[in-house]
Amino acid sequence: MQQELIDPHGGKLINRMAPQELLEDLRAEAANLPKIPINAREQSDLDLIAVGAFSPLEGFMSSDDYRSVVNNMRLSNGLPWSLPVTLSTTEDVARSLSIGSKAALTRDEKIVATIEVQDIFSYDKVSDAEKVFRTSEEAHPGVRAMYAQGEILIGGPVTVFERAPLQFPKYNRTPAETRKLIQEKGWKTVVGFQTRNPVHRAHEYIQKCALETVDGLLLHPLVGETKSDDVPADVRMKCYEVLLENYYPRDRVILGVLPAAMRYAGPREAIFHALIRKNYGCTHFIVGRDHAGVGNYYGTYDAQKLFDEFEPSELGITPMKFEHAFWCNQCEAMASTKTCPHPESSRVVLSGTKVRNMLASGQMPPKEFSRPEVAQILIEAYRSRQSVADLA
């Protein structure tokens, strides 16, 4: 008997890829439509809408959904959804569109999809940024991306002709493909882990704590657009591979990638990331310290608190909340403030700046902080980056 998986958000896994048998006719029609250029972030959102990762969204948000999400973290039908997913354009392009018609979406002048234009509306960037990101400061990368958008938003369902070139195709599974793999493994419960950083010992500890209570782990790093100073995705993937090869049970972990752009929206993005992983088949989701945070814009455990504002049945995925973990020299083990009685002086805790400086100088962080195999990959990456900088 086939294992029943958790329902996608909204009850149905969306598929907005154009049927192959209609593709030629759809492309011919699109050639004569008004064109809307899209940026890298919008293409990444388009891809994830197409394969159902953003279920129940069938396209870019209309004004009703957009306003409801910004103000209430719900779609206009009441379903929880925490971040706007929008298509922006200029006023000049918007004048070429009409509600009820179609338009072609282009990336680098190539048509990649069409949209049925259901809504054309303006929005208040400063006010909306304050609500979504809890700040209107342009120094915040998510706010900066919003300010760089066009002045007009276009809403409506999309039909996608082709996805962007797949990063890490070995691991770039759609929600449907990931769900099939989970079924094949016979897992009833799956915990998802979101990361945009290499996995260090604290991450490993909370993942393995979660694995004690569920059947499998979906290690699901985000490999879309991130800040320029984040560790590049190809380096991170090498770290994940060596870590899983040496320290995890192979039959209980799936390594996949999420080709989404980071919003750095802290608590709201934690909800967003959880709902996406629900669409990939996860029943549980790890929420740690400062999830999807940046700078000092969010409190350490604000993301965990935001989950408490929803009824568990509304989200349909169970958050697994973890305190900050560390190595304790007196416990001689990984621990957290919930389990360790010893003073901070006994803990091996390094700042991100300290670790980056150590790696850049070729110095290995202590094994209590990072697995040596992971640290070695990062040291080599820093050396390579420095060599390129020296040649520039």
The per-residue pLDDT string of the chain (392 residues; one tens digit each, 9 = 90 and over) reads: 456 899 999 999 999 999 999 999 999 999 999 999 999 999 999 999 999 999 999 999 999 999 999 999 999 999 999 999 999 999 999 999 999 999 999 999 999 999 999 999 999 999 999 999 999 999 999 999 999 999 999 999 999 999 988 889 999 999 999 999 999 999 999 999 999 888 999 999 999 999 999 999 999 999 987 777 778 899 999 999 999 999 999 999 999 999 999 999 999 999 999 999 999 999 999 999 889 999 999 999 999 999 999 998 999 999 999 998 999 999 999 999 999 999 999 999 887 778 888 988 999 999 999 999 999 999 999 888 764 343 33
User: Residue 389's pLDDT is what?
Assistant: 41
Do 219 and 358 fall into the same domain? yes
Do 24 and 150 fall into the same domain? yes
Q: Is residue 357 part of a domain?
A: yes
- Structurally, the chain folds into a number of domains equal to 2
Final residue of a domain: which of 101, 135, 160? Answer: 160
Q: Is residue 309 part of a domain?
A: yes
Question: Among residues 196, 236, 268, 277, which one is catalytic?
Answer: 196
Q: Is residue 4 part of a domain?
A: no
250 is catalytic: no
Q: Is residue 127 part of a domain?
A: yes
Q: Domain of 348: which CATH number? A: 3.40.50.620
Do 233 and 114 fall into the same domain? no
Do 204 and 305 fall into the same domain? yes
Final residue of a domain: which of 160, 183, 201? Answer: 160
Q: Which domain holds residue 275?
A: 175-258+264-391
Q: What is the 3-state secondary structure (H, E, C) of the chain?
A: CCCCCCCCCCCCCCCCECCHHHHHHHHHHHCCCCEEECCHHHHHHHHHHHCCCCCCCCEECCHHHHHHHHHHCECCCCCECCCCCCEEECHHHHCCCCCCCEEEEEECCEEEEEEECCEEEECCHHHHHHHHHCCCCCCCHHHHHHHHCCCEEEEEEEEECCCCCCCCCCCCCCHHHHHHHHHHHCCCCEEEEEECCCCCHHHHHHHHHHHCCCCEEEEEEECCCCCCCCCCHHHHHHHHHHHHHHHCCHHHEEECCECCCCCCCCHHHHHHHHHHHHHCCCCEEEECCCCCCCCCCCCCCHHHHHHCCCCHHHHCCEEEECCCEEEECCCCEEEECCCCCCCHHHEECCCHHHHHHHHHCCCCCCCCCCCHHHHHHHHHHHHHHHHHHHHC
Question: Among residues 197, 252, 356, 383, which one is catalytic?
Answer: 197
196 is catalytic: yes
Q: Is residue 1 part of a domain?
A: no
Do 67 and 138 fall into the same domain? yes
Q: Is residue 170 part of a domain?
A: no
Final residue of a domain: which of 125, 160, 195? Answer: 160
Q: Is residue 13 part of a domain?
A: no
Do 327 and 186 fall into the same domain? yes
Do 341 and 247 fall into the same domain? yes
Do 253 and 285 fall into the same domain? yes
Do 52 and 149 fall into the same domain? yes
User: Residue 123's pLDDT is what?
Assistant: 98
Do 148 and 199 fall into the same domain? no
Q: Is residue 58 part of a domain?
A: yes
Do 185 and 147 fall into the same domain? no
Q: Domain of 147: which CATH number? A: 3.10.400.10
Do 214 and 114 fall into the same domain? no
User: Residue 122's pLDDT is what?
Assistant: 98
